[in-house]
Structure 1
Amino acid sequence: MGEAPGSARQAPLPIGTAWLSVVRCVMASFVMLLRREVQLPRGNVGRVIRFADGTEARVYRETVADRVPRDPCFLAVSFRLIGVRGQGHALFRWESLLNTPLFIGFPGFVSKLWLAHDSNGTYRGLYEWDGAGAAERYARSLWRVLELVCVRGSIDYRVVPGVRRDDMLAGPDALTGHAQPGERAWWRVGGTR
């Protein structure tokens, strides 16, 4: 592609490439789970994250791998599910734990904050990744999984090299200068409570 990670031109990987990456991820995930290299800490659960677009969402789960990034980056993914309303959101949040093997085994995964839907019905995942290229590959592979259950045109992601997840949570200054002109601000954290 030749573009910088997180650039405005986003597209999923070719179907075969993406699904092969997902299969490899699932196999690696089960090894990680058997070795107990993944935790579900509760420290951020319940935290409300405000975004620069005026929305906010509550963290309902956190997943962390036993990995320290050498080249940290922040990844935000957003999507809206087809036909999920009312109690369906609670069912999705419960079921989503089963989706864990679809991402923890991707090369470079460090952590994920799972956010409940906002007032627009949009879900977000806020990740820390080791390497912007690895984060980009994951997001473009994940796209193929999400497109099976998401509203067309609702999948979006943003990769921000050099920003750690905890720095992003500490305040909006961590993401200053990373927005592109005219870009939607759904991924920029404006604060937490």
Structure 2
Amino acid sequence: MTARARSRPGMGDICLAITRSTVEATRLFATSALAAPAGLIGRWVRSDDGSRSRVFRETTVRGRRPADPVVLVVRFRLRWVGRARWAHTVFRSICAASTPAFAGFPGFVTKLWLADPWTRVYRGVYEWDGADRAEWYAARLTRVLGLVSVRGSVAHVVLEGLDRDGFVDGRLPLPSGTPSERRAS
């Protein structure tokens, strides 16, 4: 886990970063470099708090391998939807629309989208190239997620020198990212 200081970016900085990401993601779409593989959809991934989440989407940049691999784990609970199944179904179905907002960030390699059907916690498990780039992205993402999430539920952790395989195959549990330890909003 990194111990870097987390800056709190302003909304102007966030909008500029998302605009740049969207431009780069459009280029990735146009060159067929951005993909949504289905092989891991439905896979269960366990967390160190005993919960389990199910993969419902994957986004990846084809052929991109990190020189400095890190795993970024983000967790949050949506505000206002509560236990309404239909609202969670709608949220999961529109997640693809957010792809340009993150897939063009510098260092992005892959993202697994996970949902815990019992606790209603959502997780993003990213592979990133470089801890500084992952933290830079996470500072912006957690600020945006704070607008739509239950207060105190947004958290992230960057794990250096890892890839997502150990989490996906069950050798490693995902860090729970408890707000008291890794609070981001």
Matched, 1:70 2:47: no
Cα deviation, residue 167, structure 1: 3.0
How far apart, in 1, do the equivalents of 2:172 and 2:73 lie?
16
Matched, 1:114 2:113: yes
C-alpha root-mean-square deviation of aligned residues, in Å?
Answer: 2.4
1:57-116 CA-to-partner distances (Å, cap 9, x unmatched) read 110111110211111100100111111122111110001110111110000111011002
The one-letter code of the counterpart of 2:65 is V
How far apart, in 1, do the equivalents of 2:27 and 2:77 lie?
30
1:147 is matched with which residue? 146
The one-letter code of the counterpart of 2:107 is G
2:130 is matched with which residue? 131
Moved more, 162-171 or 100-109: 162-171
Over 3 Å counting, the alpha-carbon distance change for 1:174 and 1:60 in structure 2 is: closer
1:111-133 CA-to-partner distances (Å, cap 9, x unmatched) read 01100234222100001001111
- Among 17, 29, 43, the residue aligned to 1:33: 29
Cα deviation, residue 155, structure 1: 1.0
Matched, 1:14 2:13: no
1:23 is matched with which residue? 19
The one-letter code of the counterpart of 1:104 is A
Cα deviation, residue 52, structure 1: 1.0
- Among 44, 56, 72, the residue aligned to 2:52: 56
Structure 1, unmatched stretches of 5+, are 185-193
How far apart, in 2, do the equivalents of 1:28 and 1:63 lie?
15
1:128-186 CA-to-partner distances (Å, cap 9, x unmatched) read 0011111111111112321221122211100001001113323445889xx9xx848xx
2:160 is matched with which residue? 161
Over 3 Å counting, the alpha-carbon distance change for 1:175 and 1:8 in structure 2 is: farther
Moved more, 76-85 or 17-26: 17-26
The one-letter code of the counterpart of 1:140 is A
Query: Percent identity of the aligned residues?
Result: 41
The one-letter code of the counterpart of 2:23 is M
Instruction: State the TM-score, normalizing by the size of structure 2.
Output: 0.85
Over 3 Å counting, the alpha-carbon distance change for 1:173 and 1:61 in structure 2 is: closer
Instruction: State the TM-score, normalizing by the size of structure 1.
Output: 0.82
The one-letter code of the counterpart of 1:160 is L
- Among 79, 82, 99, the residue aligned to 1:82: 79
How far apart, in 1, do the equivalents of 2:22 and 2:116 lie?
25
Number of equivalences: 176
Matched, 1:45 2:41: yes
How far apart, in 1, do the equivalents of 2:7 and 2:80 lie?
23
Instruction: Describe the SS at the equivalent of 1:143.
Output: helix
